[in-house]
Structure 1
């Protein structure tokens, strides 16, 4: 477990001044891939850094070199047909030589027998898989899977679960962002009854070649996809560019939540929706309307503190160079607000949360202009400058609620080292492969830089 320091805030400022210099440095990762069974070199294995455009192939001796790698914490992925995918964590601060990486042959597991080729699964499930992987944003909808036959799917009607993986890299053409994306899905599960989706995969980006006009459009689209993304947010923390009054950027606040007693459990709601969906009577329609309305009732009673947070309030240095920790206040802000709007109740009620169980999160949104003064008109039309407010419609469009399950670490590239430590809701949770940019993406580079240098 990493030790967390408690440095003075000026140390973060010093670190931020060094950030641009460190990020610009580029290094190499070298190593060798061998067969774990006979220790012989493995030729033509794909070696790449997950979520980047850094990739290569092994030579006849199993050797590889990945070049032009920025400083950061990465997952090095080794993939070759007939072998299990291997993942190795690599910390890059200088040129790195990793020990020989042994990979093992992939054998058919008993539980894989139930997986059915995608062409034998109903088209709606294949469409469902594509939608969940690519996303439903304009970038996701524009993506095209070139080789859908590598998708292996199975739907269990008893559990309402769609599961699957890909037998090889999916090749995805993202025409709006100008990338060919190679995506290897290790495990995919969509639980319709629980309303959850989980998948694990590895991504390699390749730049498309295009005309000057295409490059211009790709530049603009990439910037649009970047603005407000999680990568943008974590980089903004290290750049100390959040909550700047009057400027476009991230508006960040601390949120305190407790369970809303007016909302019934998800499992009960979804079970009743499924039950009444199969009924045809008039009373059944009334019942399903009730349960659908219940599904829309917010799960939580929540308030947000109006203290203007700075990066130093959210970021901690760690004992590992180039790695930072996220921190969230544990203060119960529900106690600051005597009358609270409870979702499902028309009026404000006095709510006592002195001993209630609560969770603190970060409310993060990207807006055109960060408020200079945090004073808002609430839903009943009264202006208030107290400790809580109701977000505006503009804020809600790109709002994310970020909750830590455990200590969260991130690097200079804006990538979270342990992503399962976080739970995301809202804007970031809706983003998929179609919205994703490589870790090495930097705004204001590429076409715009080239055009500026040529005098255009």
Structure 2
């Protein structure tokens, strides 16, 4: 009985914390001179709270929804300061000291890069995505993106904010891109940075459309799913969870053996060994991985855990999770992976853990993002991003 009381108390604490707001104040100074720094960008990464320091170096971020955030302080010519903070309806004060950057010489290309535009267009498609929302996104300062392509690896970064206008969701994004990598050999895309969301000005009709589009982006998203997990309400909210098992196909020989056999039979006369060559060619077409879904649904409580840190939760499971959302149809721009023989009409996401636990906060934000790999509709691009402190509003 005591165990259930403890869980209930922790759960109530998380609900109370999520309904509170907090304030962060502070002062920013130069590490060498001790002088106050004015007009420094101060914001909570991936949220809607941002400001600049005044002429005395002071700043205030108010009305912050409870949760885990990264406080970022950035100014050209200085190393970026960042700190993980937990907001629980209180007021916190920080003294931030910025170090000037050591100027590192980079290789200078004499004359314009003839491949920049091609590489930039490839970056933009991989960064923003190819959805209807992406078609309404525009990077206002494209030359802020430093991009290169070599050995089938596309890389990019920015020393200043990339300013993105998202007219689908009604946000202006200021994205400080630390790293972007697209490996065309493996098909993997990884990017990491800090972004500040600001509402675009708009008419009443535009704001109503943005409200609807934001809700469409939210419902069925990873953020929505994780928020329902902490309340043990995933099934009630339209999510269905099943376990997906993936194993190497025992019928498919290793690639090295298949290639060796094909080379061998290719050198023989077709009349003598044509059947063998065709047989090994058929083996090369077999799938490398066999996968199947378990019939028994997985309950939220089987994969979600409460941690000893209030407001922080853990996701843990074996194999893969195959998650469908019953209240939407499959978007045409992001087709579903089909491990079943029957076509799936609902949006599907496949989740794989790279660490024993993925920790997330009350806002449904993963604290250790490298712990999860998404496939399917949760392969999120910037055009679909919502701020961490987003809450769906009731429709008129």
TM-score, reference length from structure 2: 0.82
Q: Structure 1 residue aligned with 2:311, among 310, 313, 322?
A: 322
| Residue 37 (structure 2) aligns with | 42
Q: Secondary structure at the match of 1:81?
A: coil
Shift of 1:11: 4.8
| Residue 139 (structure 2) aligns with | 145
Q: Structure 2 residue aligned with 1:239, among 212, 231, 234?
A: 231
Q: Structure 2 residue aligned with 1:101, among 92, 96, 121?
A: 96
* Cα 1:123–1:406 shift into 2, 3 Å: same
Q: Is the Cα contact below 8 Å between 1:33 and 1:100 reproduced in 2? A: yes
| Residue 129 (structure 2) aligns with | 135
Q: Structure 2 residue aligned with 1:365, among 324, 327, 331?
A: 324
Q: Structure 1 residue aligned with 2:365, among 397, 405, 415?
A: 415
Q: Structure 2 residue aligned with 1:22, among 9, 17, 28?
A: 17
* Cα 1:41–1:108 shift into 2, 3 Å: same
Q: Secondary structure at the match of 2:296?
A: coil
Q: Is the Cα contact below 8 Å between 1:117 and 1:151 reproduced in 2? A: no
**RMSD of aligned C-alpha atoms?**
3.1
| Residue 335 (structure 1) aligns with | none
Distance in 2, matches of 1:104 and 1:116, equals 31
Distance in 1, matches of 2:356 and 2:108, equals 35
| Residue 210 (structure 1) aligns with | 202
Q: Is the Cα contact below 8 Å between 1:118 and 1:126 reproduced in 2? A: no
Q: Is the Cα contact below 8 Å between 1:250 and 1:367 reproduced in 2? A: yes
Q: Is the Cα contact below 8 Å between 1:77 and 1:86 reproduced in 2? A: yes
Structure 1 unmatched ranges of 5 or more: 1-6, 270-289, 331-359, 371-378, 380-387, 452-456
* Cα 1:223–1:205 shift into 2, 3 Å: same
Q: Deviations over 1:247-304 (max 9, x none)?
A: x6111112232233538679x99xxxxxxxxxxxxxxxxxxxx89x95xx65532233
Q: Structure 2 residue aligned with 1:255, among 244, 249, 256?
A: 244
TM-score, reference length from structure 1: 0.72
Shift of 1:138: 1.1
Q: Secondary structure at the match of 1:305?
A: strand
Q: Deviations over 1:81-131 (max 9, x none)?
A: 111222211111132424422222223334x42689986534221111111
Q: Deviations over 1:129-186 (max 9, x none)?
A: 1111111111122101111121111222xx2222221121111111011111111111
Q: Secondary structure at the match of 1:440?
A: coil
Shift of 1:38: 2.9
* Cα 1:389–1:154 shift into 2, 3 Å: closer
| Residue 391 (structure 2) aligns with | 442
Q: Secondary structure at the match of 2:295?
A: coil
Shift of 1:305: 2.5
Shift of 1:416: 0.5
How is 1:151-170 mapped onto 2 (pairs within 5 angstroms)? 151-156=145-150, 159-170=151-162
Distance in 2, matches of 1:199 and 1:138, equals 21
How is 1:74-93 mapped onto 2 (pairs within 5 angstroms)? 74-93=69-88
How is 1:159-198 mapped onto 2 (pairs within 5 angstroms)? 159-198=151-190
Distance in 1, matches of 2:158 and 2:16, equals 39
Shift of 1:405: 2.3
* Cα 1:87–1:265 shift into 2, 3 Å: farther
Q: Is the Cα contact below 8 Å between 1:115 and 1:153 reproduced in 2? A: no
Q: Deviations over 1:294-340 (max 9, x none)?
A: 5xx65532233333333221211111110011121x4xxxxxxxxxx
How is 1:350-361 mapped onto 2 (pairs within 5 angstroms)? 360-361=319-320
| Residue 272 (structure 1) aligns with | none
Distance in 1, matches of 2:113 and 2:28, equals 34
Count, aligned residues: 364
| Residue 311 (structure 1) aligns with | 300
Q: Is the Cα contact below 8 Å between 2:240 and 2:323 reproduced in 1? A: yes
Q: Deviations over 1:212-236 (max 9, x none)?
A: 2111111111111111111011001
Displacement over 4 Å in runs of 4+: 7-20, 114-120, 263-266, 388-392
Q: Deviations over 1:33-75 (max 9, x none)?
A: 2223333222111111111001111122222111111111111
Shift of 1:366: 1.3
How is 1:117-136 mapped onto 2 (pairs within 5 angstroms)? 120-136=114-130
